[in-house]
Each structure stands twice: as structure tokens, then as C-alpha cells.
Amino acid sequence: MADTDSLIVTVAKQQAINIVASLVIGVISFFSLESFSYNDAKDILGVLINISASIFTIVGLWVGFLYPNAMSSIVNDDVSYIKNEKDSPRIEKLVYIIITSAFVMAGILLFFLAKILIASHPFYKEHIGFIKCIGIFSVLLMSWLQLKCVMSLVLSNLHFVNHLHGRLANARFEHHDK
């Protein structure tokens, strides 16, 4: 029960942060209407595409390494995996990063498709300020999501290195005793 309560609190905190970030992004979008251009959006979206490709590569390698170990342990009834004490939380986090990056990539595609489909439409000309605000909001929101993925990946790698150094220190200590 304590694990469930901890998970609920963690998810609630993350959602509160996302709501605050969305509100800040909304305010920034409104006040950026005059200065933000389509070329700015293209530059940012180009960077986001490159970051997504990098994330897919790095995380794909991690999942490719961890997943077979996790599946092997599950098949062999390794209790530590069933208790989520080994790689399961890390795999879940990495899969979440992949899914979020995939949503960002899909959002970029939809952004460019929407631009092509509505730019010549009279509705666009009549509501250009509103549509531009939505576009700025979308670009900034995708940037926020991708930044969260990068930071989560960095933290996951730092955790791995910290864990690795702990194991190396234990191995050295045990080797000295023999």
C-alpha cells in the first residue's frame, strides 16, 4: 500500500509540474505573438527532431540491453524482478522516454501538416493571432516534453553510473577481504 501511495504522490507532483509548465508556456505564447516567427518554429522543431533521433538511439540501446535480461529473469522466476528490485523500473522509465519522444515527433509532423493545410485557408487569415498562439504553444510544449525526456535520460544514466561505482566499490572491498 505504501508503494501505491508513494506512486500516487509522485504522479501528482509530476502532473502539478506539467500543469504549471503548461500555464507558463501559455503566457509565454501569448506574449510572444509579435516576435515569434514561423522560421523560429522551424529552427526549434529541427532541433527537436535531432534530439528525438538521438533519444531513440540512446534509449533503444539501453532497452535492447536491459529487456533481454529482464525477460530472462522473469522466465527463470528470478524473484528480484518480480519485486521490481532490478531493471524493471529503469525499463519503464526508458519506455516512457521513447513514448514521449514519439509523441513529440508526431506533434512535429502534425504541426507541419497543419501549416500546409490551413495556411491558405480563409479561416487562417481571419484567426491568425489565435492560430499563431496555438502554434507557439505547441512548439514550446513539445520543447518542454523533450527537455523532460533529456533530463530523465541524464538522471537515469547518472543513477546507473552511481550504481555501477557502488558495485565496483563492493567488489573491491570483497576482493580485499579474500
Q: Please, which pLDDT band fits residue 115 given cuts at 50, 70 and 90?
A: very high
pLDDT, tens only, 54-100:
998 888 888 777 767 666 665 666 655 544 556 667 778 888 899 99
Q: How many domains does the chain have?
A: 1
The set of long-range contacts for 102-106, using a CB threshold of 8 Å and a minimum separation of 24, is 102/52, 103/145, 104/48, 104/52, 104/142, 104/145, 104/146, 104/149, 105/49, 105/52
Range of the domain at 58: 2-177
